[in-house]
Amino acid sequence: MEPRQAALQAAFTRTRRQSLALAEGLSAEDCMLQSMPDASPVKWHLAHVTWFFETFVLAQREPPPAPFNPAFKVLFNSYYVGVGERHPRPERGLLSRPSLDEVLAYRRAVDAQMAALLADTPLPHSLLDLIELGIHHEQQHQELVLTDLKHHFWRNPLRPAYRPPEPLEPADPVPLRYQAFEGGLVEIGHDGEGFAFDNETPRHRVFLEPFELACRPVSNRDYLAFIADGGYDRPELWLSDGWDTCQREGWFAPLYWQFTDADRWTVFTLHGQQPLRLNEPVCHVSYYEAEAYARWAGARLPTEQEWECAAQRWPAEAAPAPGRFADAGAYHPGPTTTGKPVHWLGDVWEWTQSAYLPYPGYRPADGAVGEYNGKFMINQMVLRGGSCATPSDHIRASYRNFFPPSARWQFSGIRLAR
């Protein structure tokens, strides 16, 4: 077998297992929750990533195998118009049938077919590309399983804990320092080593003015100062749409924060309701809040080009060890050696001030799989860096995450630039 096929075989097995590990401890009822149209049930995620392999890999074979269940073609199609009809997104929580057990059987059936395929004679590169895409697609949904589940559970007044609380060492506060970068004509985009989504390509040149980037994300302690200074009551700090959203939604702090009777802030986490840890990166803020915070702090958000330029220079060891599954919502004590960034990768996604738009010369893939990224290039802002909920081998310097500026349920935080 070719080395690439063998590597994908291993990655496939590992990734599929990891998805099941995420669902451990959840009941069938838990896996059906849908708290808002943007957040899908865990059961749906488990089925959809399976549908992806069935639709884009298995069904491409000649002759195509019989589908596990023909109805799944519609039920678990997320947004691929080229594949046909889709079950409406806000109604994913109304599917008590198929049951979680049936979805797990669906996974096993597709896994078996995939295993047979991958153990087979060498597969063409085009098919290996789709399998690789499917693996990275499933990793994306692993993060969504966690972000969505957190939101689902938060709507239950019982505030269930997904995982038991893990007492963490209190981290010492790290002073906020800026690191200077020269800018100039730099190359941005995926360099061709390993996998990348189409939206990271083509690699291209951009011209950057000199800039500085903060050595760590904004912490909860920093953010409390913004709140205490009336941050949520001063329209002059906000973008106009941001202020309107803030007023309409009644925002007064990041999502999941709660001010308790005892004059203390607590936060809802995947480990249940917890006291706020002051030295952790602030999390679950919208772009609007990030942008307002930066203005208040006399700084700004980085562009995605600045961010990637820095990522090319800053050491990879700042990233969490590959294969380690990060504690959801918790804190990675990064290296604190002077001059090196802390919490650089794998803590919180960092909002950039770049709109999510195609790179010069961008071309989506042919066929339905071309809908993966390109058709969402409007009304969204780019986030960089990966979060504690991102599989650590899914994080890379050129990775472009994107969400609307009002989104708060992702593990999104703030890194300042100037």
Q: Is the peptide bond before 98 cis (omega within 30 degrees of 0)?
A: yes
Q: Which of 115, 239, 318, 365 binds its own copies (CB under 8 A)?
A: 239
In the shown chain, the binding pattern of residues 54 to 93 toward its own copies, with x for contact by CB under 8 A and - for none, equals -----------------x--xx---x-xx----x---x-x
Closest distance between its own copies and the C-beta of residue 353, in Å? 6
Query: SS3 string of 244-257?
Result: HHHHHHCCCCCCCE
Closest distance between its own copies and the C-beta of residue 393, in Å? 29
CB-count burial class (<10 Å; 0-12, 13-18, 19+) for 56: buried
Closest distance between its own copies and the C-beta of residue 134, in Å? 21
Residue 240 or 337: the one with the smaller Cβ distance to its own copies is 240
Closest distance between its own copies and the C-beta of residue 80, in Å? 10
Q: Which of 152, 284, 396, 408 binds its own copies (CB under 8 A)?
A: 152
Q: Which stretch binds its own copies (CB under 8 A): 2-10, 32-40, 51-59, 138-146?
A: 32-40
Closest distance between its own copies and the C-beta of residue 52, in Å? 18
Q: Which of 189, 254, 405, 413 binds its own copies (CB under 8 A)?
A: 405
Identity of residue 322: P
Residue 160 or 315: the one with the smaller Cβ distance to its own copies is 160
Closest distance between its own copies and the C-beta of residue 205, in Å? 5
Asked if 115 touches its own copies (CB under 8 A), the answer is no
Tokens found for residue 232 = 């949520």
Residue 174 or 292: the one with the smaller Cβ distance to its own copies is 292
Q: Cα angle at 183 between 280 and 284, to 5 degrees?
A: 25
Asked if 24 touches its own copies (CB under 8 A), the answer is no
Q: Which stretch binds its own copies (CB under 8 A): 130-138, 166-174, 213-221, 372-380?
A: 372-380
Residue 76 or 331: the one with the smaller Cβ distance to its own copies is 76
Asked if 182 touches its own copies (CB under 8 A), the answer is no
Q: Which of 9, 13, 18, 99 binds its own copies (CB under 8 A)?
A: 99
Residue 336 or 380: the one with the smaller Cβ distance to its own copies is 380
Asked if 110 touches its own copies (CB under 8 A), the answer is no
Q: What sign for the dihedral angle of Cα 205, 185, 193, 56?
A: negative
Closest distance between its own copies and the C-beta of residue 153, in Å? 8
Asked if 287 touches its own copies (CB under 8 A), the answer is yes
Q: Which are the contacts of 150, defined by CB distance < 8 A and separation ≥ 6?
A: 162, 256, 268, 269, 270, 328, 329, 409
Asked if 209 touches its own copies (CB under 8 A), the answer is yes
Q: What sign for the dihedral angle of Cα 261, 262, 266, 271?
A: negative
Residues of the shown chain interacting with its own copies in the complex, contacts defined by CB under 8 A: 27-30, 32-33, 35, 71, 74-75, 79, 81-82, 87, 91, 93-100, 152, 155-158, 160, 185, 204-209, 235-236, 238-243, 287-288, 291, 303, 353-355, 357-358, 360-361, 371, 375-379, 405
